[in-house]
Structure 1
Amino acid sequence: MIQTKNRGKYRILPGNPEKMGASATKDGYNFAVEVSDGKKAELLLYRKGHQKPFLTVPLPEEERTGVISSVEITGLTVGKFSYAYRMDEAFCLDPYAGAVEGRETFGAPMEKEEGACCCLLPEYPVMRTTSLHRPYEETILYKLHVRGFTKDGSSRVKNKGTFRGVIEKIPYLKELGINAVELMPSYEFFEWTSLTEPAYVYPAPAEEKRVNYWGYGTKALYFAPKASYAASSDAVAEFAEMVDALHENGIECLMEFCFAPGTPSGFVLQVLHHWQLRYQIDGFHLVGDASLAEEASKDALLRKTKLIFLGFDGARIYQGKRPWFRNLGEHNQGYQYHIRRFLKGDEGSLSDFTYYLRRSPETHGVINYLADHDGFTLYDSVSYEQKHNLDNGEDNMDGSNENLTWNCGAEGVTRKPAVRALRLRQLKNAVLMLMTSQGTPLIYGGDEFGNSQKGNNNAWCQDNKTGWIDWKAAARNPEFAAFVKAAIAFRKAHPALHGEREPRLIDYKSYGCPDMSFHSQRAWFSQMENTCRFIGVMYCGSYFQDKDGNKDDDLYIAYNMHWNPHELALPSLPEQKVWYLTADTNTPEVFLTEENQKKVSAKTVIVPPRSIIILTGKQEKRQNDESMAAL
């Protein structure tokens, strides 16, 4: 057992090995760290901003509990001291550190001097807000890279590439209709990492000459906000300020984490608890291994926190029963694959399209997306068929070769009016498919106005204009930017498009039609042809209600991804109700105002090539309507 020792005004006492990292005590701080068997260990204490320790505390093996060394040191005050460890001859940071100094410049070369980067004694702000607990079906998710979101000068924010830069863009996110953001790694990952040493061994040599811009490496200090993402010298306070600002504007804040395979589940849960309790984070997306899904979903502290994984068996975890709060969410990779196939008109894609259109499992949410950080941006997915990754330094060998994209007739930038018009229509079709699917839609930052990476589908090392969002694209594509905002608003206005449960395709309440049904040249059919590239989908509004109990309108959405127009039969509506044309992606504005919606009196509707139209079934207007014999 450690004997009490006096070092000037500082006393060294036995510590608590259960509290890993540095934690405040009544008179000072407790330090606890894991030390590999047989290694010599020392605690190094610094005056903040200094690179030479003023106090070195030996951590002898005979005084360890298991492999944990712990000491309490009195007389230390927050804001004036930093610390690190020496294991044998290696200088190490605390893997449980809640903040660091010396990492304020993104992408800066690793300092070789010992003490150039140190851990700070933790001081966590008092949060003004708490988690929002919004259900998946009511969530519109926006994924962003904190640095790349506002780093480009076109963002027109004061604090570019920082947490405060995100705060400055909150009015834009609200106007767009976003109510949740997902942050790509925003903890203290290392842009230059060793392939053999853990992150807390510092400095790690830059074995690769390319910066890890995305942050998905497995070398990181997972408890600390990224210092270089802060406009101020206090990343902890600034991160908390951002979360509070998002919450105060009705926007949830989710974080992505990437752990090395085999990371103990206990450590991962400690990380999630830290961010949830300290910063009121609303959810987490754990990239990669989904083996922790079941354990995390049943964790008492995380029971009302969104937990997103790629692939898990929700039916087995919950035995087919709906949990009180669906905290598990599936990063729905299959959605992107199959919806992109249907979008570009691939044969045999219709059945998968209808499956993913209605999919919303009883046990968990699904996150639908058509573009993510890994792959082409949405704009590039209709502008490139080949990846253009030479700038990544791997002779274009990196990145996926199976992107399911179509350039609409020309590779990359073109002045051909027909190609540009087709690309715009395909972008609108893509977004409207996303916003009329039952899962939770995710927009990758910049896709809402046509941001491009010039065909680079693996921009992990592009800390430059390729990887940053070009906000000038919004001015270049005003028609598309306005459409995305309208599409989000339309989704929110119609409970049929984001119901609490997956449509059952039957009339189980005897309203006269199923909750959701499929239609073609005949109003009702049960068989889909393999070669078909179009379909009509009807939602019976009586099955879907808003929070006030008001029933939704009936909706008929016709998707035609064929290169020819097609005539689809319209289902009959109850008496006093008629169909009104509400949206058409073959027109510039797409969504018609209430005054401009025209009654469709015909029994069929003609859908233009590669277009989507939406009809709304509601009570016939009293004023004279201009009937439409055909569209």
Structure 2
Amino acid sequence: MKITDSYIFYGVKQYKDSVIFSVENTSKEPLFLVLTDKDGNKEEIPFDMNSHIGMIYYMEVPKSKVKGKNYLYRIGRRVEEDAFAPAIEGTEKWGVHCPKGCIEKKDFEWGEDIRPDIPFKDMILYHLHVRGFTMHRSSKVKHKGTFEGIAEKCEYLKELGVNAIELMPCYDFNEELKTPAVLYSETVDEAEKEKVHRYNYWGFTDGFYMAPKNAYAAKGDGITSFCQLVKKMHENGILVFTDFFFGADKSTDFIKNVIRKWALDYHVDGFRVVGPSIPAPELANDPLLADIKLIFDAEPEKFGIHMGSRTCGLAALNAGFMYENRKFLKSDDDMLKRFVGHMLSCPDNYAEINYMADYCGFTLNDVVSYDEKHNFDNGEHNADGNDYNYSWNCGAEGPTRRKSVINLRSKQLKNAFVFLLLAQGTPEILAGDEFMNSQLGNNNAYCQDNVVSWLNWNDLKKNRDHFEFVKELIAFRKKHKVFHSGVAKRMIDYRADGFPDVSLHGEQAWAPRLDNFYRHVGIMYNGEYCGSHKEKDDTFFVAFNMHWQNHRFALPKPPAGMVWKRIMTTSSGFNNDPSEVPSKDFLVEARSVRLLKAVAEDKKKIKGKVREVKK
């Protein structure tokens, strides 16, 4: 067999009459391809140890010889599955992991599939777990806990206003944890503790990276089900991102090949790539991934990524947004400057992914319902999980019937969503936060494949008013580019429009107080600055008061011929009939946000004022 560059790859490559197997062998021990038919009969075919390029060994086998068979590799006495297997069998049922590589999978018919053209600045990201999103019986989908289940919820996602979903790991990982846990609940006696089987529910681990998870498919065919999901999302204008974790033992070439596979063969639009040694520059500068969006856990500069034209598709997770804005939400000292910085931050060369809750921590509802973590059911005596959640239970730990606490929690949740959806960065919503999903205070539900982690869709009906508020807020953000212009805010009038692009205000207009003991500020957004010179938007004033006391805000004068009207408060929601703010200052109640809009003054009122002046 002639050695050519075409053999430099990992895994399996099919041709008309033959199949080429390629595998890394660092030990130089004898290498065998082990074929197994449907009856369990095995055949070992030795590799020619002279057929290699570096440490990559390859072998060409007639297609008729491998038809209908699974395969493994034997290196010396060690048997290994192929991490680059194009398809996997033996993992069709959740909790059963007996993987075997296979090659006979038909290519998916993509038809006229087109990726939606949505830049980060216009994106509403929605982070979900494939199984947990629809596994609860209240989801009312036909195929619970699957890719098909997500597809059945497509209309719900569109109603909410989501235009990009991010799936937690959905490559074929092993969900079985090797050690059982000792169930230890705060409500369980010592004598009632028992050992229980646990699952790696999240999936941030090694796996068969080339294949979507079969257990997430209604019929056990992960490749087909995943591709059908992506195609349906694209048809409905929704991007699909996936999360990938790579350990330190994974090479740059390995990682690049995996991301390429999912981008090119499965039409994935973007990736959140995490791990101890991610080759971010190589991924960012890969010409095959030039149109693919990449999310890293730090700014591109920290990875040594060269800033060029490619940066339009790069983003960084902004953990500071979550932690510091949670502190501001619960009225901590010295948070006002940081809060303002997060609200206005818009880097020139990459996008920031803002979030108020993530999979590894409290849900947003739990942020306002618990002071402490409650992870006893994880079997680690509540020692796991982050001890610093920057949460506040609003006066009672966990579920309560006290109306004052319930009302305050509702308002705080709305405040948090205003922070998220009116900030300049790309907002990412944790699935279920829009209808007040709770994990009962568990902030590390990595092993909770049960109702703790599964979304309870009954909460959507129970908390419909909260869902409607979030839906309206998302629609408001989409409509008004001044809140997602993609242009860095300078706080100066660099176009000589008469007002700065944004400006800060307080109890005196144009004179904000940002001292460490202040917890309220007003931000005016000039609609003339929402992108290019041709783009115009409305002008808004947003008053944030996270103090436990009411405060008066002085209003800056609106543009000529306009008046300020109140269109939303987190106490009462959006106002369908906006009322004019009559005075030059107005009261904002404790722990709330008010949103004002500059609108053209009523001509009848103007004529009345003219008559009064003449008299």
Q: TM-score, normalised by structure 1?
A: 0.89
Aligned to 1:154: 138
SS at match of 2:528: helix
CA deviation string 1:555-583 (max 9, x = no partner): 00001011110001101012211101010
SS at match of 1:73: strand
**Distance in 2 between residues matched to 1:102 and 1:285, nearest whole Å:** 27
**Distance in 1 between residues matched to 2:584 and 2:259, nearest whole Å:** 55
Aligned to 2:128: 144
**Distance in 2 between residues matched to 1:485 and 1:455, nearest whole Å:** 25
1:296 aligns with 2:283: yes
Of 189, 199, 212 in structure 2, the residue corresponding to residue 211 of structure 1 is 199
> CA distance change for structure 1 residues 174 and 467 in 2, over 3 Å: closer, same or farther?
same
> CA distance change for structure 1 residues 31 and 540 in 2, over 3 Å: closer, same or farther?
same
SS at match of 2:57: strand
Aligned to 2:580: 599
1:618 aligns with 2:599: yes
**Distance in 1 between residues matched to 2:541 and 2:29, nearest whole Å:** 69
SS at match of 2:558: coil
Q: Given that residues 314 and 363 in structure 1 are in contact (C-alpha distance below 8 angstroms), is that contact kept between their aligned partners in structure 2?
A: no
Q: Given that residues 78 and 122 in structure 1 are in contact (C-alpha distance below 8 angstroms), is that contact kept between their aligned partners in structure 2?
A: no
**Distance in 2 between residues matched to 1:506 and 1:15, nearest whole Å:** 56
Of 333, 353, 363 in structure 2, the residue corresponding to residue 377 of structure 1 is 363
SS at match of 1:579: strand
Q: Given that residues 269 and 293 in structure 2 are in contact (C-alpha distance below 8 angstroms), is that contact kept between their aligned partners in structure 1?
A: yes
Aligned to 2:41: 52
Aligned to 2:296: 309
**Distance in 2 between residues matched to 1:470 and 1:546, nearest whole Å:** 43
Q: 1:45: Cα distance to partner?
A: 2.0
Q: Given that residues 85 and 101 in structure 2 are in contact (C-alpha distance below 8 angstroms), is that contact kept between their aligned partners in structure 1?
A: no
1:21 aligns with 2:21: no
Q: Given that residues 149 and 445 in structure 1 are in contact (C-alpha distance below 8 angstroms), is that contact kept between their aligned partners in structure 2?
A: yes
CA deviation string 1:519-571 (max 9, x = no partner): 00110026511100110000001112699x55111100001011110001101
CA deviation string 1:150-200 (max 9, x = no partner): 0111111001111111100000000000000001000011113679xxxxx
Aligned to 1:85: 73
State which drifts further: 292-301 or 246-255.
Answer: 292-301
1:225 aligns with 2:209: no
Of 552, 555, 558 in structure 1, the residue corresponding to residue 543 of structure 2 is 558
Aligned to 1:201: none
1:572 aligns with 2:557: yes
> CA distance change for structure 1 residues 392 and 624 in 2, over 3 Å: closer, same or farther?
farther
Instruction: Report the RMSD for the aligned CA atoms in angstroms.
Output: 2.5
1:260 aligns with 2:266: no
- 1:471-490 correspondence to structure 2 within 5 Å: 471-490=457-476
Of 169, 183, 200 in structure 2, the residue corresponding to residue 185 of structure 1 is 169
Q: 1:121: Cα distance to partner?
A: 3.5
Of 80, 93, 100 in structure 2, the residue corresponding to residue 117 of structure 1 is 100
Q: Given that residues 326 and 391 in structure 2 are in contact (C-alpha distance below 8 angstroms), is that contact kept between their aligned partners in structure 1?
A: yes
Aligned to 1:9: none
Q: Given that residues 16 and 70 in structure 1 are in contact (C-alpha distance below 8 angstroms), is that contact kept between their aligned partners in structure 2?
A: no
- 1:466-505 correspondence to structure 2 within 5 Å: 466-505=452-491
**Distance in 1 between residues matched to 2:39 and 2:238, nearest whole Å:** 40
CA deviation string 1:398-428 (max 9, x = no partner): 0000000000000001010100000000000
- Paired AA for residue 52 in structure 1: N
**Distance in 2 between residues matched to 1:310 and 1:296, nearest whole Å:** 14
Aligned to 2:398: 412
Aligned to 2:87: 99
- Paired AA for residue 599 in structure 2: K
**Distance in 1 between residues matched to 2:65 and 2:119, nearest whole Å:** 42
- 1:434-445 correspondence to structure 2 within 5 Å: 434-445=420-431
Aligned to 1:168: 152
Aligned to 2:350: 364
**Distance in 2 between residues matched to 1:315 and 1:105, nearest whole Å:** 41
Q: Given that residues 127 and 279 in structure 1 are in contact (C-alpha distance below 8 angstroms), is that contact kept between their aligned partners in structure 2?
A: no
Consecutive unaligned residues in structure 2, runs of 5 or more = 180-194, 609-615
State which drifts further: 132-141 or 35-44.
Answer: 35-44
Q: 1:297: Cα distance to partner?
A: 1.4
**Distance in 2 between residues matched to 1:78 and 1:624, nearest whole Å:** 84
**Distance in 2 between residues matched to 1:268 and 1:324, nearest whole Å:** 19
Q: Given that residues 125 and 163 in structure 2 are in contact (C-alpha distance below 8 angstroms), is that contact kept between their aligned partners in structure 1?
A: yes
Q: How many residues align?
A: 591
**Distance in 2 between residues matched to 1:78 and 1:52, nearest whole Å:** 13
> CA distance change for structure 1 residues 622 and 170 in 2, over 3 Å: closer, same or farther?
farther
SS at match of 2:574: coil
Q: 1:624: Cα distance to partner?
A: 6.8
Aligned to 1:135: 119
Q: Given that residues 552 and 588 in structure 2 are in contact (C-alpha distance below 8 angstroms), is that contact kept between their aligned partners in structure 1?
A: yes
Q: Given that residues 44 and 84 in structure 1 are in contact (C-alpha distance below 8 angstroms), is that contact kept between their aligned partners in structure 2?
A: yes
Q: Percent identity?
A: 39
**Distance in 2 between residues matched to 1:341 and 1:210, nearest whole Å:** 34
Q: 1:82: Cα distance to partner?
A: 2.4
Q: Given that residues 540 and 554 in structure 1 are in contact (C-alpha distance below 8 angstroms), is that contact kept between their aligned partners in structure 2?
A: yes
Q: Given that residues 133 and 304 in structure 1 are in contact (C-alpha distance below 8 angstroms), is that contact kept between their aligned partners in structure 2?
A: no
Of 374, 387, 394 in structure 2, the residue corresponding to residue 401 of structure 1 is 387
- Paired AA for residue 126 in structure 1: E
> CA distance change for structure 1 residues 444 and 290 in 2, over 3 Å: closer, same or farther?
farther
Aligned to 2:611: none
**Distance in 2 between residues matched to 1:77 and 1:62, nearest whole Å:** 22
**Distance in 2 between residues matched to 1:406 and 1:254, nearest whole Å:** 32
Q: Given that residues 22 and 122 in structure 1 are in contact (C-alpha distance below 8 angstroms), is that contact kept between their aligned partners in structure 2?
A: no
- Paired AA for residue 457 in structure 2: W
Aligned to 1:330: 316
SS at match of 1:280: coil
> CA distance change for structure 1 residues 448 and 51 in 2, over 3 Å: closer, same or farther?
farther
**Distance in 2 between residues matched to 1:39 and 1:316, nearest whole Å:** 37
> CA distance change for structure 1 residues 477 and 546 in 2, over 3 Å: closer, same or farther?
farther
SS at match of 1:326: helix
